[in-house]
Chain A
Amino acid sequence: MNSQSKRHKIICIGNSLVAEDAMAMAVYDLLSAQKLPDNIELIEGGIAGLNLLSHLENAGNVVFVDTVSGFSSPETASLSEKHYHLRYKNAFINTSYDNDCNSSGTIIILAQNEITEFLQDFHYGHNSGIAYLLSVLPMVCEGTLPNTVFLVGLEGKCSRSTIEKAALTTLKIAITGNCNIV
């Protein structure tokens, strides 16, 4: 399978029944209402954990969309600003404001190596998430590994415009495999 015939995957993780975990599912709903390019597959990943492995094998670009926390400001990360930007060199931080200038969510982008750095417990559990999935993938992959893996993270209560921006960002990254274009 050559890289041009591989399908790119957008995998939205979360639970639409749980408010704190529903942002990515809002992105899923938005994208599923659109006509996506033929080589893009949109997946409602839910909270399926390890059951998403087969979606990653032989994939082109993979973009996860999920709720994150603790990224929305350097102060929250407790790092110096310079260190923060060096640390997350691919992170794109955007805080969009609605008409009343109220904060309405933040979009963070993490590359694969940055995601797996957050794996604190190497034990598998029912609650194992993307970090575990990506850490174990190289050891159990029976096809080819994805070309690229990114996470579009959503933090805070996201407004409609933030969700739309996240959806557009996700699509661009999935198509190009490059987060710098955003």
Chain B
Amino acid sequence: MSTIIKGINIPLNRVEGDLEIYVDVTDGVITDAWSCGTMYRGFEDMMTGRGVLDGLVITPRICGICSLSHLTAAVKALDIITGIVLPDNAIFLCNLALMAETIQSDMRQAILMYMVDFANPAAYNHYFMFEEALKRYEPMKGTSVQDVIKETKRFVEVIAIIGGQWPHTSFMVPGGVTSIPEAHKILQCRMIIDNFRKWYENKVLGCSIEQWNAIKSLNELYQWLEESKEHSESEVGFFIRFAMKAGLDTVGKGTETFISFGSLQMPQSSKVTSENGHLISPGFARKTAVEPLNPGEISEDISHSWYHPAPTGEKNSSQTSRPNSSYENRLLQENDTQSSCQVAAHPFYGTTKPYASGKSGDQYSWAKAPRYNGEPAETGPLAEMIVDKDPLFHDIVQHKGASAMARELARMIRPSKLLPVMTIWCEELMFNRKAPFYTSMKDIPDGQGAGMIQAARGALGHWVAVKNSKITHYQIITPTAWNGSPRDNNKVRGPWEEALIDTAIKDPDNPVEAGHVVRSFDPCMVCAVHTIRNRKK
């Protein structure tokens, strides 16, 4: 006789913001899942009617983790409206700061938030690797825990140097940056990057970045693991061994659709080159079949979210009518009703008007459901690797499928793609220090622009419309909105809802396996109130 447990709440502390996940479990296996954003904050509505530059001050304060990413997206949207060409030095500085934010996030997430669960005694104390996991990852006391905090603490000084202050730097503006650091400060950045790279190669990879990037397939990865103790005992090596023992390479498949907005615009003159103008490529992929990104295919579905639908044909005041996206046309054909378009809208046309009557049956989240051509898509380091056609991750996904392990591995090794470029760009910045860092401009004209970048957790977009120097429209889609999306009009689950399906839970009171799956996406719901609460009884 089957044992069915409905509505288990998966505890997800360590998540910024308010997130609840409920699962149904039949005979110890998750058979359904619901991801619920439990709080509405209204940041986008705050923007409408404000001065055009207010987004640069307000949106970075949406989140303390990715404040620079929000600033980058906000500025990029305005740069697109103005059509301005950024000088190379502005591009170097913006990129270096964003890369630093991403890398420190990757390392902290991997060691402090993901691998810490390997030291969960209830789940793993019978593993032969448990004692080592405890030594490395025990909260506060673990050697790797203290190590990564020290190293990332030093590394974020790059952002403070470039931005003039940290946190809440505002050094990016439309047209470029507000200033360029002195030569000795750029040199200091270079030293910080070099020292971090030494630690990363020594402790995290256990080999040089060049050796790691020479691994092109799953078999070569296994060979690398066996090759030397330095490899197998590094953080990456330990992660792979533990994760495979725990079966993390077989859970968390998800939708196997991936989206990357692309990021890190290439300077006009640099030793680093790219075919598509970005270091991190934009694109969409179904498994490993990659196609160019068409931003017009992005929509936000609110059929299962507590929001008022936007009437069809509604346009913001700086817009003229636009043709339906192919997804909206498909909805119309399938349902033959005008009202079908109301539940999904492109972010240039969608609104964020909360509506929760208390009588809604299908709605269960304050998060909307972003879709690409009507499909859910996961975003983050694994998506970047797939869209960038990284041979190792293509081989992993082809042979074993996407998984919690693949996702987290991509996060741990992403710095290996970024650190060498940081060194080159730092040198080029030093060499060109006297060149311009700002292109002067008078006003932001009327128009609309989409600032689409890759934040640490994945695709981040700010869709902005301006008229008479005022913001008339502002929509933001965060990476966690993509990953933690609820169902859509076709009742298709969001990426981590889907990823939870078929995950075996040994102990419903300690569902660590579900935690592994969801944490591989690095959930971050924006944004919680942080207080010291006196709960003593």
Contacts and interface: CB of A to CB of B under 8 A. Distances in A.
A146 interface: no
A77 B526 CA distance: 29
Contacts of B150: 140, 142
A73 to B, nearest CB: 11
Interface in B108-134: 108, 112-113, 116
B532 A16 contact: no
Contacts of B532: 66, 68-69, 110, 115, 118, 129-131, 151, 153
B530 A21 contact: yes
Contacts, number: 145
Given A47-B530, A53-B149, A125 B113 contact: yes
Interface in B500-537: 524, 527-537
Contacts of A15: 61, 64, 527, 529
B43 interface: yes
Question: In the complex, which of the residues A48, A118, A126, A136 has the most CB atoms of chain B within 10 Å of its own CB atom?
Answer: A126
A45 B167 contact: yes
Contact of B531 (A16, A54, A69, A126): A69
Question: In the complex, which of the residues B17, B153, B156 has the most CB atoms of chain A within 10 Å of its own CB atom?
Answer: B153
Contacts of A45: 167
> Chain B contact residues (Cβ within 8 angstroms of A): what range?
35 or more
A144 interface: no
B16 interface: yes
B287 interface: no
B124 to A, nearest CB: 15
Nearest to B67: A46
Contacts of A140: 146, 149-150, 153
Question: In the complex, which of the residues A71, A118, A153 has the most CB atoms of chain B within 10 Å of its own CB atom?
Answer: A118
Contacts of B14: 121, 123-128
Given A69-B533, A77-B534, A126 B65 contact: yes
A124 B167 contact: no
Interface in B363-414: none
B536 A78 contact: yes
B523 to A, nearest CB: 8
Interface in B124-179: 139-141, 145-146, 149-150, 152-154, 156-157, 160, 166-168
Contacts of B141: 139
A17 interface: yes
A59 interface: no
A78 B537 contact: yes
A14 interface: yes
Interface of A: 13-18, 20-21, 44-54, 66-71, 76-79, 110, 115, 118, 120-131, 135-136, 139-140, 142, 151, 153
15 contacts: A13-B530, A15-B527, A15-B529, A17-B58, A46-B61, A48-B167, A53-B149, A53-B153, A76-B534, A77-B534, A78-B536, A121-B13, A126-B15, A129-B530, A136-B149
